Amino acid sequence: MGLFSTAKTLNVLAESYAQAIIDSGIDFDVLFGPAYKGIPLAAITVTKLYEIGGEKYASIGYAFNRKEKKDHGEGGSIVGSALKGKKVLIIDDVMTAGTAINEAFGIIKEEEGNTVACIIAVDRMETTKDSDECATKIVSKRYNVPVISIVSFNDIVKVLQSKFTAEQMANIDEYRKKYIPAN
């Protein structure tokens, strides 16, 4: 997320998320961005959804959690749209072990929302310490929801492959063998 720090790069990122959401056809009411990186992602994406998708997305809300519950002002741990009884789409930047996404599921359940899918920019495709499957597959199975990624580790390597030296490709292949499941 740190590399996306200008209006132009954030616009491209928001457009990529929005288009992936539109292409997925997922029906949802609220876009939820887990603190902290998910917060700006939810905000920029919900506005881009309306810009690209029009009135169909005009009433989509967005929300995020506070790391510390507040007992004054708005109070609570959720800022933005209420989640109770809503179909919620979780947005985050990357999935490695699925820790942030698992926490988000718990928060949404606690708020009586129904998570219908997750969207991430990058699927690192890494196995977790407890399984030979990648985190996106584990999360998808555990919660019975699709996990949509804009790009995967393999997509990135494929596009940039011609730019890598033989030594860099050997390091990438070693990384794949160590962390990425064969299938």
**Residues catalogued as catalytic:** 70, 72
Query: Is residue 33 a contact partner of residue 14, using CB atoms and an 8 Å limit?
Result: no
The arrangement of strands across the sheet holding 76-80 comes to 76-80, 61-70, 30-33, 87-95, 114-123, 147-152
Q: What H or E segment, with its residue span, contains residue 21?
A: helix 7-24
CA 65 to centroid of chain Cα atoms: 15
**How wide is the angle at C-alpha 157 spanned by C-alphas 151 and 159, nearest 5°?**
80
